[in-house]
Amino acid sequence: MYILVTAFTTFCFAILAIKLFKPVAIEVGLVDKPNERKHHAGHIPLIGGISIYVAVLAASLLWLPNTLELRMYLIASAMMVFIGALDDKFDLRVRIRIVGQIIVASLMIYGVGDSISNLGNLFRLGDVELGPFGVIFTYLAIIVVINAYNMVDGIDGLVGMLSLNTFSAIAILFLMSGSQGYLSYPLILATATLPYLIFNLGLFKKLTKKIFMGDAGSMFIGLSVIWLLSMGTQGENASFRPVTALWICAIPLMDMLAIVYRRVKKGKSPFKPDRDHLHHILQRAGLSSEQTLVFISFFAVLMSLIGLLGEYFEIAESTSLLLFILIFVLYNKYARHFSWKYVE
């Protein structure tokens, strides 16, 4: 009953936030305008991420225990949403966004005093302990995951579906490990995302008008993902192994790493926008936006399922890592091939 009440109130908070912030966004110009890379019709309010954060904040204050870790997460998330909203409004330079992400990461790391220090038994030689390099690795992990979810946001529903997949997989991992105390965290985030998807995809066209996630939302989701993964994989009572984290956010990670690799190889900035993401390639190959969304979402669920099964059957972490690397190499190879084949 507690879970149902938590989910219902979170959903209601998100709906209310959308209704409240939508006219405000239009009034202040927090909207996405069509351009050479964005082919939507009209000016779309960029409030999806803000509404998700407000719902998470309200539900967390109402239902979750008041811990230092939760307070630091909510404060860091507020900063991330604010920086993202500024980027949505003023199109900040990459350097400014990265500095903002480093500040947010510092709050997460030093505010709680935790960092990613154990990568698990990746080489069958015992757990890989990072020691003093753990803080550096944590900074890198936070920035990578934030930008992975930010960069994958390219068609209606995509970042919402991918985050829903990740949050659901994390919830299942907490259930599998008996960590019911952590279950409310991914549940609240997943439920807060549902109203955004309803509005973004126009599932009830007479009742909902399109909104976009915005950088505020995609970066907030990325921060939430790495926070949950750190919570689940670190410490003496870790709920799942670090290598499993790769599988449940595989598509954003693979897409970002492949894109960065191709851009650097071409001598371009890894942060320079282009139309070589997976969803762009699939659309150039002839798939509609809806078909592309279904295809990528199915692939993401499949990858998460592999990770969940590996965790359940306790597949060796080295085997899981090698399989993930193999899939990424194949993904990068064929994505590059189709990127060239279907070049515009």
**pLDDT, tens digit, 9 for 90 and up, residues 85-117:** 999 999 999 999 999 999 999 999 999 888 999
- In 3D space, the residue among 265, 270, 253 whose CA is nearest the CA of residue 144 turns out to be 253
pTM, full prediction: 0.95
Distance CA 324, CA 341 (A): 25
| Domain extents in the chain | 2-242
Query: Residue 241: what pLDDT?
Result: 98
Query: Residue 268: what pLDDT?
Result: 83
Query: Residue 344: what pLDDT?
Result: 46
Span between the terminal Cα atoms of the chain, in Å:
53
Query: Residue 38: what pLDDT?
Result: 54
Other C-beta atoms lying within 10 Å of the C-beta of residue 34: 12
Query: Residue 188: what pLDDT?
Result: 98
CA 103 to chain centre: 19
Query: Residue 205: what pLDDT?
Result: 74
Q: Is 48 exposed, middle or buried (0-12, 13-18, 19+ CB in 10 A)?
A: buried
Average pLDDT, rounded, for the chain? 92
Look at strands 44-45 and 31-32 and give their pairing.
Answer: antiparallel
Spans of the chain below 50 pLDDT: 40, 344
**pLDDT, tens digit, 9 for 90 and up, residues 47-82:** 999 999 999 999 999 999 999 999 999 999 999 999
